[in-house]
Amino acid sequence: MLEAESLTKRFGAVVAVSDASFAIRPGAITGFLGPNGAGKSTMLRLFLGLVHPTSGSALIDGRPIHEWPAPSRKVGAVLDTQCVHPSRRAIDSVRWAAWLAGVPTSQAETLLDRVGLGAVAGQRTGKFSVGMRQRLALAIALVGDPEIVVLDEPMNGLDPEGIAWLKDLLRRFRDQGRTVLISSHLLAELEDLVDDLVVIARGEIIGSGSATAFIDRFQPQTISVLSDKPQPLGAAVIEAGGEVIETQGQRMEISGLTSIQLGEIARDAGIVLLGLTEERSLKKAFSEATAKMTDL
C-alpha cells in the first residue's frame, strides 16, 4: 500500500502539494488526475524519494522508499522518456539500468520483447520515436520486476495503437497483482483503465477512492430521454422525486431516477419513450469537481 499523510511540498513560494492524505490500494490501477501544474508529478516524485517532503510523509508499505533494501524491486517508474543516452543501443541501456539496480542483466532481451522492441534491441536509441522511447523507458522501469509501476503521463505522444497496447499491458500488470500508478491531465486517457482515482487541483486532493464512487459523488447518473410528451413526462418525473435538468424540444435530461424507474413512470402516464441514454462519465465528474473547487 502507498500512503500519503499530510503530505506537503513547497518549492519556494509555490505549494506544489498541500496537506495531501490518501491511500493507494495494492493490486489496482490508480489514476492521478489533474490539470497541468496540479502537482501530479511532484506527488509521484515524493513517493519515489526524488523530492523530499516539506512536511508529512509518502510511504510505501509503511516506509519511505529509501528505507527499502532493494527499491527497484519495490517500484519501477517511467517519469521521463529522455532517460537513456542516444548513442547507446537499446539493449545496452536496459542492461545498464539492470546493473545499476543490482539485478541480473540477462533479462534485458526478454524485457525488450515484452515492450515490443525486440526487433530493434541492437539499434542506437537516438533516432527512436516518442512511442519507442516510452516503450524503452518502460522496459527500464521493469528491470527489478517491481511490485509497483509508476508512470507519469505515459500516453503523451503515443498513437492510438500505442495507447491501446499500453493500457493492455497495464491491465496485465494488475492481473499479476502489481499496483499501477498513472498520471494524466486527460480524462479520456484514464476513463476505461483505472479502478481508483486521486484527483488533484492546485496541489490539493479533490477526491480519492474508487473511480465509480468519485463519479457518484460529483455527478449522479443522468438520463437523456426523448419522448413524445416531454411536458407531462417532466411533471411525472418531478412527482416521482426526480429532477429535470434541461428540456430541449422532445429531449430532456433527468437525474435522481434509474432508467427502469423512468420507464415505469412513462408507461403509467401513457407516454412513449422514443430514446433513452444513461450518462455516467468521468469527464462530467471531473469538470463538476473542479468547478466545485473553484467555488470554494
Ligand X SMILES: Nc1ncnc2c1ncn2[C@@H]1O[C@H](COP(=O)(O)OP(=O)(O)OP(=O)(O)O)[C@@H](O)[C@H]1O
Minimum CB separation of residue 9 from ligand X in Å reads: 8
4, 29, 33, 38: which one contacts ligand X (CB under 6 A)? Answer: 38
- Please identify, among the stretches 38-46, 87-95, 248-256, 273-281, the one whose residues bind ligand X according to the rule CB under 6 A: 38-46
2, 22, 31, 39: which one contacts ligand X (CB under 6 A)? Answer: 39
Position 31 contacts ligand X (CB under 6 A): no
- Please identify, among the stretches 32-40, 70-78, 236-244, 252-260, the one whose residues bind ligand X according to the rule CB under 6 A: 32-40
Cα–Cα distance between 29 and 138 in angstroms, integer?
16
- Please identify, among the stretches 31-39, 62-70, 155-163, 248-256, the one whose residues bind ligand X according to the rule CB under 6 A: 31-39
Position 11 contacts ligand X (CB under 6 A): yes
Could you tell me which residues come within 8 angstroms of residue 240 by beta carbon, excluding any fewer than 6 positions away?
A: 257, 261, 265
Minimum CB separation of residue 290 from ligand X in Å reads: 13
Grid cell in block for residue 275: 430514446
Position 41 contacts ligand X (CB under 6 A): yes
Position 76 contacts ligand X (CB under 6 A): no
Comparing CA positions, the residue from 116, 119, 74, 125 lying closest to residue 96 is 125
Residue list 185-224, contact with ligand X (CB under 6 A) = 185
Q: What count of other Cβ atoms lies within 10 Å of the Cβ of residue 96?
A: 17
Could you tell me which residues come within 8 angstroms of residue 62 by beta carbon, excluding any fewer than 6 positions away?
A: 1, 3
Comparing CA positions, the residue from 28, 27, 155 lying closest to residue 81 is 155
Q: How many CA atoms lie within 13 A of 136 on its CB side?
A: 32
* Closest to ligand X by CB, 39 or 162: 39
Three-state SS at 74: helix
Q: Which residues bind ligand X (CB under 6 A)?
A: 11, 14, 16, 34, 36-42, 185
